[in-house]
Structure 1
Amino acid sequence: MPTAVEADLQNKAQSVPPGTFRHTVLLSAKRFKSTWAELGKLLVQVRDEAKYEEWGYPSFEAYCLKELHIKKQTALKLTRSFSFLAKHEPPESVKEEEFVQRAPAFEVVEVLADAEERGQLSPSEYRSLRDSIWNPEKPTTELKREFAERFPRPPPEPPADNVQLRRLAQMARKLASELSGSRKVPSAIAERAAALADDVEELASGVTNA
């Protein structure tokens, strides 16, 4: 039984003239889990040629979300991952049908595209990995884990002082509220917690206004 999204895509496809580019994209969106590269290729064209404007959408993101039920972040990953493969696999190296239908797993390509964007993956390194990427017998989870370890994401930036203090103030106030609402907590402890929350909130306010 089709899901609500699949049913909606099917209904939209029926309302669009068969054979048109818009109809092709709708059908591709229905099956993109198994042929992600096909949809990625089409979305790049929709974006680059601003096809979404012809179809009545104010932006590429709005078109993806409202017509294809694809969130902005997913659309970005699809277009970036396809562009990554297209860059490293020119048409003369892989037949178009093979490229679209037998492209490496999306999860694997996404890791490599991210690594290249961070400057961790060079063209020569991609060539050294190519055989394992295009090998259909290589487990996707194994490849993804291997590449994630080889090209680790940098640690996240520590939050700014004002952001961190606001978060701590919220935590302190929540703790004080819960303590004051518990019958098992002596009032003296609840009062100290409330005073602490006041101090942290004042400190956070001072940093924010500095």
Structure 2
Amino acid sequence: MPDTTGMSASVAEVEIAKKAMSVPPGTFRHTVLLAAKRFKSTWAELGKLLVQVRDEAKYEEWGHASFEAYCLKELHIKKQTALKLTRSFSFLAKHEAPEELQQHEFPEKAPAFEVVEVLADAEERGQLSPTEYKSLRDSIWSPEKSPTELKKEFTERFPRPPPEPPPESLQVRKLAQMARKLASELAGSRRVPNAVAERAAALADDVEEIASSVTDA
């Protein structure tokens, strides 16, 4: 799993280790800290614990205003990373029998994070049904392909929809900004005739006037 915490792995591990020393061993909080320290190899362990921290509002007991603030300040995990971990584990918990997730091998032998993340995203978009997951289950729990190959395969099978175009008003405002910038640069160039710079400035005025009148329905 790529480092998306915003800190180098070594720095984050040192900070987490320091925090763990101040928390009583054997407590749930201490367990989460240790899981955060090793989550790159056992992402499902941390995902499972974070779901519990979030759902039971444990972060409030530990002096944090929000789940996101707890993850960032205590575990050195960004909001987006915490979301990916909890969503991916919740995906497995939804589709797997509880006893499957309680086996001794789990979470060390959980499917690769990057693969589960693609499937969780696909389900969230309504592209993956429970029946389809069952048909794919063996390929992710007992993979014959590498995580990279599976991720590519599933990404192509469940493509993200193209992003929606920005609002028309935003597009026109950007054009106005570009026109004004061009006019300013032309006016500042000694090699550009004043007549050309003046036409550019007039054009910028026109585009800005249009931008001020455009509204999105």
TM-score normalized by the length of structure 2 = 0.89
Aligned CA distance change for structure 1 residues 105 and 202 (closer, same or farther; 3 Å): same
Q: What is the CA–CA distance in structure 1 between the aligned matches of 2:15 and 2:48, rounded to whole Å?
A: 22
Q: Compared with structure 1, are the counterparts of its residues 183 and 27 closer, same or farther at alpha carbon in structure 2 (3 Å cutoff)? A: farther
Decide whether aligned partners of structure 1 residues 7 and 101 sit closer, same or farther in structure 2, where only a CA change above 3 A counts: same
Shift, 1:74, TM fit: 1.2
Q: Secondary structure at the match of 2:131?
A: helix
Deviates more, 1:54-63 or 1:160-169: 160-169
Any conservation in 1 of the 2:169–2:216 contact (CA below 8 Å)?
A: no
Q: Secondary structure at the match of 2:26?
A: coil
Partner of 1:109: 116
Task: Identify the residue that residue 201 of structure 2 maps to in structure 1.
Answer: 194
For 2:43, the equivalent position in structure 1 comes to 36
Deviation larger for 13-22 or 168-177 = 168-177
Structure 1 distance, partners of 2:119, 2:216, is 42
Q: Which range moved further: 157-166 or 17-26?
A: 157-166
CA distance in 2, matches of 1:209, 1:111: 33
Shift, 1:157, TM fit: 1.3
Question: Is 1:14 the counterpart of 2:14 in the alignment?
Answer: no
CA RMSD of the aligned region, Å? 2.0
Worse overlay, 189-198 or 58-67: 189-198
Q: Which residue of 2 is the match for residue 78 of structure 1?
A: 85
TM-score by length of 1: 0.92
Which amino acid in 2 is paired with 1:9? I
Aligned counterpart, 1:164: 171
Query: Which residue of 2 is the match for residue 69 of structure 1?
Result: 76
What is the correspondence of 1:88-99 to structure 2 with a 5 Å cutoff?
88-93=95-100, 95-99=102-106
Residue 130 of structure 1: aligned partner: 137
Structure 1 residues 141 and 209, CA gap change in structure 2 (3 angstroms): closer
Shift of 1:209: 9.7
Residue of structure 1 in register with 2:52 after alignment: 45
Q: Which residue of 1 aligns with 2:213?
A: 206
Q: How many residues align?
A: 210
CA distance in 2, matches of 1:138, 1:109: 14
Report the counterpart of residue 140 of structure 1 in structure 2: 147
- Which is helix-richer, 1 or 2? 1
Whole-Å separation in 1 of the counterparts to 2:125 and 2:66: 27
Counterpart-to-counterpart distance in 2, 1:209 and 1:105: 43
Report SS of the residue matched to 2:161.
Answer: coil
Change beyond 3 A, Cα 1:94–1:77: closer
Q: Distance in 1 between the 2:96 and 2:165 partners? A: 38
- Asked if the contact 2:84–2:117 (Cα under 8 Å) also holds between the matched residues in 1, the reply is yes
Amino acid at match of 1:172: A
